[in-house]
């Protein structure tokens, strides 16, 4: 089989994407909504019913049957510009140690790649493969941050390899199934007061690192109710991980592990064509964040709990509304808005590692058809976060220290996606 230049470029991106990681968070909790570039332009509203390119592998694998019977490749790149700042409103010092400062700018830049490839087997059967980071977070405060004993650096990465299959049952019903292989890595650091009884007040950095590979599945269905209206239903399973690694402080290193259950999700989406030019999109998505009540670090030799960081996560919902307008034969305009509920409900559960809060997306973008085989999507979204209060005890002990204050967060997202068929 011969590949034209655009296909070779996207196949190279596919290989590079499998080695890339994400280091920021946009969806609620530490999930990453940016599983393609096209969806940025309509705030991912109705993504499980859109099925316009190969990235439907992630959002609803059944959508592969709606693509022309060719090879389809989509390569996406999203740049996140995140601002995250803390304002202290009365934190207490830990013992006789200096209180510290507001920690500086804990946000920064993050690059999120995603690549998808789908191909026909028969007129009714399709195969596909997606590679994308489904979860990620990176937060870095200064070593003199007032909340340094609760965390100064946190990085979580989960890369998902998603082989999929889709079957068109008839003209109205399509079904899809995907298998998920998740490579998970974590690096969590905090400061520790190691000389509390000495005149000199010295902090040492404690570091927990680990990794694992977990497995899961995702299901999808699409129903063409009328020529103008399509409904998509999807479910993505939990992924159980035992993150084995080490806890290190000063010259001491202990084998340690953390059990993590990445949440399951379910989504119902609709796409409705008002006329030949205007398409309306909508969705409701549920995420089972209650599967992660805490992060308990245990010794791999004795089984003893070395630390237990409560998260207090609750299940959350996301609602999106969007529209696409076919301005001309080669240009499609997009816009969208979404409300994303945080799994963190109160100030006592909020952490300096993940200062999460409810957010609203406002987005716009376009798709430009370069030729009969190739198109490009460009999208921009601004994510507005509610002010997030924290009133959290260090090591679950209010006698040691309580961090009190608020976080101010905002994110700009710029996405580009190249689509090609051959």
- Residue-wise pLDDT for 35-78, tens only, equals 999 999 999 999 999 999 999 999 999 999 999 999 999 999 99
- The pTM score is 0.89
Core vs surface per residue 381-394: b (16+ CB within 10 A) or e: bebebeebbbbbbb
Tokens of 171: 């003209």
**Structure confidence at residue 103 (pLDDT):** 95
Question: What residue ranges in 105-228 does DSSP mark as E strands?
Answer: 108-120, 125-140, 153-168, 173-193, 203-224
The residue assigned the tokens 């992924």 is 239
Fold of the 5-421 domain? Porin (2.40.160)
Contacting residues for 187 by C-beta, under 8 A, at least 6 apart: 153, 154, 155, 156, 207, 208, 209
C-alpha distances out from residue 210 to 135, 185, 188, 215, 247, Å: 15, 6, 9, 17, 9
User: How many helices (H) and strands (E) in the chain?
Assistant: 3, 19
User: What was the pLDDT predicted at 195?
Assistant: 65
Kind plus residue range of the DSSP H or E element containing 8: helix 5-17
User: Residue 387 has what DSSP assignment?
Assistant: P
pLDDT of residue 1: 45
Neighbours of 169 (CB within 10 A): 12
Pairing of strands 374-385, 402-421: antiparallel
The pLDDT of residue 227 is 96
What backbone torsions phi and psi does residue 253 show, to the nearest 5 degrees? -130, 125
**What residues does 65 pair with on adjacent strands?**
none
CB 216 within 8 A of CB 168: no
Answer yes or no: are the C-beta atoms of 74 and 418 closer than 8 Å: yes
**Please, how many CA atoms are within 13 Å of residue 354, restricted to the half-sphere of its CB?**
29
Mean pLDDT of the chain: 91
Q: What is the DSSP string of 47-85?
A: HHHH--STTHHHH-GGGGGGS-SS-EEEEEEEEEEEEEE
pLDDT by position in tens, the chain (length 422): 444 554 454 444 444 443 444 445 556 678 898 999 999 999 999 999 999 999 999 999 999 999 999 999 999 999 999 999 999 999 999 888 889 999 999 988 889 999 999 999 999 999 999 999 999 888 999 999 999 999 999 999 999 999 999 999 999 999 999 999 999 999 999 998 876 555 667 788 899 999 999 999 999 999 999 999 999 999 999 999 999 999 998 888 899 999 999 999 999 999 999 999 999 999 999 999 999 998 888 999 898 888 888 898 999 999 999 999 999 999 999 999 999 999 999 999 999 999 999 999 999 999 999 999 999 999 999 999 999 999 999 988 877 899 999 999 999 999 999 999 99
Residue of 370, 333, 380, 418 lying closest to 34 (CA atoms): 380
Q: Please, is 249 exposed, middle or buried when counting C-beta atoms within 10 Å of its C-beta (0-12, 13-18, 19+)?
A: middle
Domain ranges of the chain: 5-421
Residue with tokens 């890339």: 20
């Amino acid at each position: 089989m011969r590949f034209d230049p655009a296909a070779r470029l996207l196949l190279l991106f596919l290989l590079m994407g499998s080695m890339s990681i994400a280091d920021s968070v946009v969806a609620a909790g530490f999930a990453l909504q940016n599983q393609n570039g096209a969806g940025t332009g309509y705030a991912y509203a109705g993504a499980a019913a859109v099925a316009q390119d190969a990235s439907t592998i992630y959002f609803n694998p059944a959508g592969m049957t709606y693509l022309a019977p060719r090879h389809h490749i989509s390569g996406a790149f999203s740049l996140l510009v995140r601002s995250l700042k803390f304002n202290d409103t009365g934190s207490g010092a830990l013992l006789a140690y200096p209180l510290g400062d507001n920690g500086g700018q804990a946000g920064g830049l993050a690059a999120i790649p995603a690549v998808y490839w789908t191909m026909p087997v028969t007129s009714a059967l399709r195969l596909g493969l997606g590679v994308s980071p489904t979860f990620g977070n990176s937060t870095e405060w200064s070593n003199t941050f007032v909340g340094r004993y609760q965390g100064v650096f946190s990085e979580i990465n989960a890369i998902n390899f998603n082989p999929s299959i889709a079957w068109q049952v008839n003209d109205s019903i399509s079904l899809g199934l995907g298998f998920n292989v998740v490579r998970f890595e974590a690096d969590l650091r905090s400061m520790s007061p190691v000389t509390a009884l000495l005149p000199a007040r010295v902090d040492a950095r404690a570091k927990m690192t680990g990794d694992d590979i977990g497995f899961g599945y995702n299901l999808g269905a699409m129903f063409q109710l009328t020529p103008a209206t399509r409904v998509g239903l999807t479910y993505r399973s939990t992924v159980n991980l035992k993150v084995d690694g080490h806890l290190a402080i000063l010259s001491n290193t202990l084998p340690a592990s953390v059990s993590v259950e990445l949440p399951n999700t379910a989504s119902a989406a609709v796409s409705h064509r008002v006329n030949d030019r205007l398409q309306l999109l909508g969705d409701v998505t549920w995420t089972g964040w209650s599967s992660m009540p805490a992060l308990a670090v245990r010794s791999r030799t004795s089984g003893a709990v070395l630390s237990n960081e409560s998260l207090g996560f609750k299940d959350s919902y996301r609602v999106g509304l969007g529209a696409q307008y076919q301005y001309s034969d080669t240009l499609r305009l997009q816009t969208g808005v979404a409300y994303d509920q945080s799994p963190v409900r109160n100030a006592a559960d909020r952490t300096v590692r993940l200062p999460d809060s409810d957010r609203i997306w406002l987005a716009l973008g376009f798709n430009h058809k370069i030729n009969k085989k190739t198109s490009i999507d460009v999208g921009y979204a601004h994510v507005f976060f509610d002010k997030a209060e924290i009133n959290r005890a260090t090591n679950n002990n209010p006698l040691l220290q309580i961090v009190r204050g608020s976080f101010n967060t905002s994110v700009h997202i710029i996405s580009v996606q190249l689509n090609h068929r051959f």
